[in-house]
Amino acid sequence: MSVLVKICGLRTPEALDAALEAGADLVGFVFFPPSPRHVGFEAARTLGERVRPPVRKVAVSVDATDEHLQSCVAALKPDLLQLHGRETPERVGVIRSLFHLPVMKALPVSSRADLIHIHQYAKVVDLMMFDARAPRGATRPGGFGKAFDWRLLQDLDLAVPFMLSGGLDAGNVEEALRVTRADGVDVSSGVESAPGQKDAGKIRAFVRAARAADAKLARTPRPNAPRAIVPGA
């Protein structure tokens, strides 16, 4: 199965259209006010109406309450919930049961110790994401354009598919896929001209580079291909 490509932090029709035209599989909308990529409920509703299958919508939240998640779901009608905070496996399981949607849990990585609990999460999620740990004192968990040591994910024994995030761009996505054999790649700041300002040319270049890398590497398919967890894909 081909690698999944996710363009995250979309806020404008122009940026969304660039992602759709470039051939992204997943488009992400951030519901977290401290982020420069935050999108309000009304804007998310309008943007979400532009998305048609097979492209899938992802609602990104950080330690959200049930009420906030309900508002996100009502506005965007997402195909997937991405939890990017400190949600425990127990909390993830509750959210998955409440909303009856596939869930992706993002975990920050800076050392091998950060992978200790991945198997607990794997029991309650449909998809994992590994992102670079935010700098100390940061007000948000991601979107800083920093990569972590991808070798930490080599030979990862994980029962669910995973996406790679953090510091990716068109210039390094091939190496990232070669090292990790990730099932998908996620980019936000790597396709921006400034925080929160997407660049159509960079979006096109990233998707093109990810597709070319996937074809070149001829990766051995992982079990539980990520497309299987996205309804209708």
Name the residues annotated as catalytic.
8, 131
Separation between Cα atoms, residue 118 and residue 104, nearest integer Å: 12
180 exposed, middle or buried (CB, 10 Å; 0-12, 13-18, 19+)?
buried
Alpha-carbon separation of residue 4 from 28, 110, 116 (angstroms): 13, 23, 25
- In 3D space, the residue among 56, 54, 44, 55 whose CA is nearest the CA of residue 13 turns out to be 44
Between vectors from CA 201 to CA 200 and to CA 207, what angle results, nearest 5°?
90
Helix residue ranges, H only, the chain:
13-22, 41-48, 66-76, 89-99, 118-122, 173-180, 200-217
Separation between Cα atoms, residue 171 and residue 190, nearest integer Å: 10
67 token code pair: 């009420």
